[in-house]
Amino acid sequence: MDGPELFAHARAWIYLLILVAPFIQEDTAVIGAATASMGPANPWLCFAALVIGITLSDLWKYWIGRAAHVFEWTRRMAERPAVLAARDRVHNHLVTTLLVARFVFGTRIPLFIAAGLFQAPAKQVVLIVTLSALAYAGIIFALFHLLGRILGEQAEHIIPWIALLVVASLLTFQVIRAFLARRARLSRPASEPMS
């Protein structure tokens, strides 16, 4: 392969990675796509691949919740009074619930699965998920490109480090939060009911 063909091949892999990355860690995928869009990759293709990846990833979580109804124990659990109350809250505040899932760190997986488990209307979920993915990706891309204009030529050297710091901070926060939650569960006396 000659130089231009090699770069075209590499860019194709970048777009594929951006499309798949939200299934692994969405916030990292968003930051990585915004960073890639400032380099040799086409920013519009990075943005499109990211929005499609985020949307498919979140709808995957929603359909996991919908599919959970094939199990008898899930159907029984869904009939408990507390779960029925939660279902009513999700249905009555679907837009708010899914926006919280999009923009509040750590709520995405449980809330999208809950929306599916509570059989929120699929058409509404698809619309909200797609529009919120467009908004989320748009905000991050705009911030990165604005920062790139402010920093000028130094942007290509500084922004990847900033992105890496943000991703590392998010992952560290997740690990610490999970560790503290597990520690709290393990230190709870056996006779104390779980809340």
163-191 pLDDT per residue, tens = 778 777 877 887 888 788 888 888 877 55
The yes-or-no verdict on residue 71 having pLDDT over 50 is yes
Q: Is residue 156 part of a domain?
A: yes
Q: Is residue 35 part of a domain?
A: yes
Q: How many Å apart are CA 35 and CA 29, to the nearest integer?
A: 10
What separation in angstroms does the CA of 79 have from each of 5, 70, 76, 171?
58, 14, 5, 35
> pLDDT for 30-61, tens place per residue?
988 988 888 778 999 999 999 999 999 999 99
The pLDDT, as a whole number, for residue 37 is 86
Q: Is residue 195 part of a domain?
A: no
The pLDDT, as a whole number, for residue 50 is 96
The yes-or-no verdict on residue 5 having pLDDT over 80 is no
Range of the domain at 83: 3-187
* pTM above threshold 0.95: no
Give mean pLDDT, residues 143-155: 79
Q: Is residue 192 part of a domain?
A: no
Number of compact structural domains in the chain: 1
**Higher per-residue confidence, 98 vs 70:** 98
Q: Is residue 116 part of a domain?
A: yes
The pLDDT, as a whole number, for residue 10 is 74
What separation in angstroms does the CA of 104 have from each of 8, 107, 148, 150, 185?
36, 6, 26, 28, 23
Q: Is residue 145 part of a domain?
A: yes
Q: Is residue 107 part of a domain?
A: yes
Q: How many Å apart are CA 68 and CA 78, to the nearest integer?
A: 10
The yes-or-no verdict on residue 3 having pLDDT over 80 is no
Q: Is residue 81 part of a domain?
A: yes
